[in-house]
Amino acid sequence: MTRRGRGAGYGTGDGGQSTVELALALPLVTLLLLLVVQVGLVIRDQLLVSSAAREGARAAAVVAPSDHAAVERAAARAGPLDPTRLEVLLDPDGHVDDTVEVRVRYRSHTDLPLVGPLVPDVDLSAMAVMQRE
């Protein structure tokens, strides 16, 4: 049996090609992974905004619908959303008799490294309507 050494039977000068290709592709792969994580964070915020709207509508349906502060507190307690970026709008008349409508707006910051400067902040909103109790 003959033993193949370096250069015997292999293309010369191709030893570092895969390293160079990885070095060129790694920043793009990293950026794409961070973008996927950022999309996941925005989806999480949208689910939390929907939950905040439901909690606010539930509070408005149970307590007096004119107690806007109680509705805002209930919406803020629904999840780990930044209360300074949370806006709660209450329509005590709702769509039909004996209903209340709560709209929640939230600005989701895109602040991940590399992705934040490329993607603008996202405005999220949700609405919930509940029957008064």
Helix (H) or strand (E) holding 43: helix 17-62
Instruction: Classify 125 as helix, strand or coil.
Output: strand
SS (H, E, C) 74-114: HHHCCCCCCHHHEEEEEECCCCCCCEEEEEEEEEECCCCCC
Instruction: Scan for tokens 């919930």, then name that residue.
Output: 128
d(CA 67, CA 63): 7
Q: What is the pTM of this model?
A: 0.79
Residue-averaged pLDDT of the chain:
86
Residue 130 forms beta bridges with which residues?
100
Nearest to 104 by CA among 131, 127, 79, 130: 127
100 - beta bridge partners?
130
Q: Which amino acid is at 63?
A: V
**CA-based nearest residue to 107, from 46, 50, 47:** 46
How long a stretch of residues is the chain?
A: 133
With a cut of 90, say whether residue 124 has pLDDT above it. Answer: yes
Cα–Cα distances in Å, from 86 out to 20, 40, 66, 74, 83?
Answer: 47, 19, 19, 12, 5
Above 70 in pLDDT, residue 14? Answer: no
Percent of the chain with pLDDT over 70: 84
94: pLDDT confidence band, cut at 50, 70 and 90?
A: low
The answer to whether 72 and 53 are in contact (CB under 8 A) is no
